[in-house]
C-alpha cells in the first residue's frame, strides 16, 4: 500500500476536481485499519488536504505503526476530536468494537457513514444516538487499485460524490435488507478462490441471488474481473485468510465451503451471518 506522500500522483487531477465540492469540510475516519487507511490514502491521492483529514488508531502498536508507515501520522486524532470537528465521519471499526464507541457524541451536522458489516441503521441509531448512512465497500486492495465498489443506504448525494471521487462504483440500494446480499457479493473474490468449483457454480449462484437482488450479476462480474491469480497455493490461502476476518461474513462463507457446501449455499450462509450480526446489535444494550 502506498503512503500519503506518494499517493498524490496516483489519481489524475480530475479526481481532485470531483472532490472540490467538499470545500473546507473536514473528514474523519474512526478506526484506521486496512479499510480506513485505504479510504484515507484515496482521499489524499484525490487531492484532499492532509490538514483536513483526521484518523484514529486502534489499540495495538501495530495499528499505530501502519498509520505512520502510510504517511498519515499528521492526521492522527482522538475519536472525540473527530466527532466534534469533522463534517464527514467514516466508522471503519469491526462490529465487535461498536460498544466502545457508545460514549462518543457525534455532531448533529456531521454526515456519519457506517462501514460496519451487518450493523443495521436501527442498531446504530439506538447504540450511538446518531442517524447514519450505511456503506459497504469492497476490499481495501480493490479500493487502492481503483477497482472498488460500494453500496450505500439510504441515498446520500454527498457520500455518492465522495465515493465516486475516490474511484468507486456506487450502488444505491432501495432497501436496507439488500445490504446483506451485497455484503455477500463483495466476499465473492475470496469465495471463488476458496470454492474452486469453476464457472458453472458461479453462474448458478449468480442466478439464484439475482432473484433477491437484481444487481447481483453486476457484482458477480466485478468479482471475476478483480479475482487475483496466485502461482503458489500458500499465497492464495494467505489472501483468503486475510479477507476472512474473525466472526465476519467472508469467514462464514469460507467455512461453509470447507464443510462441503456448494457456492450458492455458502453465499446464503454468508447472508444469514450478516442477518445474525444485525439482529445481535439490534437487541444488545
The per-residue b/e assignment along 18-54, b for 16 or more CB within 10 angstroms, e otherwise, is bbeebeebbbbbbbbbbbbbbbbbbbbbbbbebebbb
Q: What span, in angstroms and rounded, lies between the C-alpha atoms of 76 and 133?
A: 24
pLDDT score at 9: 40
Spell out the domain ranges in the chain.
Answer: 4-172, 177-283
pLDDT score at 110: 96
Decide which of 3.40.50.720, 3.30.70.20, 3.40.50.300, 1.10.533.10 is the CATH code for 4-172.
Answer: 3.40.50.720
Predicted confidence (pLDDT) per residue in 128-165, tens digit: 999 999 999 999 999 999 999 999 999 999 999 999 99
Phi, psi dihedrals of residue 251, rounded to the nearest 5°: -60, -40
Q: Low-confidence residues of the chain, pLDDT below 50?
A: 5-12
pLDDT score at 7: 43
Using alpha carbons, select from 34, 132, 133 the residue that is nearest to residue 92: 34
Predicted confidence (pLDDT) per residue in 189-204, tens digit: 999 999 977 778 888 9
Count Cβ atoms within 10 A of the Cβ of residue 246 and give its class: 0-12 exposed, 13-18 middle, 19 or more buried: exposed
Q: What span, in angstroms and rounded, lies between the C-alpha atoms of 164 and 179?
A: 19
User: From the CB of residue 69, how many other CB atoms can be counted at a distance below 10 Å?
Assistant: 12
pLDDT score at 17: 66
Residue 160, SS3 per DSSP: helix
Q: What span, in angstroms and rounded, lies between the C-alpha atoms of 183 and 118?
A: 8
Q: Which three cell numbers stand for residue 153?
A: 443506504
pLDDT score at 14: 54
Q: Distance of CA 205 to CAs 195, 233, 280, Å?
A: 12, 24, 27
Q: What span, in angstroms and rounded, lies between the C-alpha atoms of 285 and 268?
A: 28
Q: What span, in angstroms and rounded, lies between the C-alpha atoms of 110 and 118?
A: 22
pTM: 0.89
Amino acid at each position: 500500500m502506498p503512503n500519503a506522500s506518494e499517493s498524490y500522483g496516483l489519481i489524475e487531477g480530475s479526481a481532485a476536481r470531483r472532490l472540490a465540492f467538499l470545500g473546507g469540510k473536514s473528514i474523519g475516519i474512526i478506526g484506521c485499519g486496512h479499510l480506513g487507511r485505504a479510504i484515507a490514502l484515496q482521499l489524499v491521492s484525490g487531492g484532499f488536504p492532509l490538514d483536513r483529514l483526521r484518523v484514529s488508531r486502534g489499540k495495538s502498536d501495530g495499528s499505530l505503526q501502519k498509520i505512520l508507515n502510510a504517511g498519515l501520522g499528521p492526521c492522527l486524532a482522538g475519536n472525540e476530536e473527530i466527532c466534534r470537528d469533522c463534517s464527514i465521519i467514516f466508522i471503519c471499526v469491526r462490529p465487535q468494537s461498536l460498544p466502545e464507541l457508545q460514549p462518543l457524541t457525534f455532531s448533529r451536522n456531521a454526515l456519519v457513514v457506517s462501514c460496519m458489516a451487518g450493523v443495521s441503521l436501527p442498531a446504530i441509531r439506538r447504540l450511538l444516538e446518531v442517524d447514519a448512512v450505511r456503506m459497504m465497500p469492497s476490499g481495501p486492495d480493490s479500493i487502492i487499485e481503483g477497482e472498488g465498489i460500494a453500496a450505500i443506504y439510504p441515498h446520500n448525494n454527498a457520500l455518492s460524490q465522495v465515493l465516486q471521487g475516490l474511484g468507486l462504483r456506487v450502488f444505491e440500494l432501495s432497501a436496507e435488507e439488500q445490504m446483506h446480499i451485497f455484503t455477500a457479493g463483495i466476499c465473492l473474490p475470496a469465495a471463488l478462490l476458496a470454492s474452486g468449483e469453476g464457472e458453472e457454480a458461479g453462474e448458478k449462484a449468480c442466478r439464484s441471488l439475482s432473484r433477491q437482488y437484481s444487481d447481483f450479476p453486476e457484482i458477480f462480474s466485478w468479482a471475476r474481473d478483480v479475482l487475483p491469480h496466485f502461482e503458489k497455493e500458500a499465497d492464495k490461502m494467505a489472501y483468503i485468510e486475510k479477507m476472512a476476518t474473525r466472526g465476519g461474513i467472508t469467514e462464514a462463507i469460507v467455512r461453509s465451503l470447507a464443510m462441503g457446501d456448494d457456492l450458492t449455499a455458502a453465499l446464503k450462509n454468508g447472508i444469514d451471518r450478516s442477518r445474525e450480526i444485525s439482529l445481535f446489535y439490534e437487541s444488545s444494550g
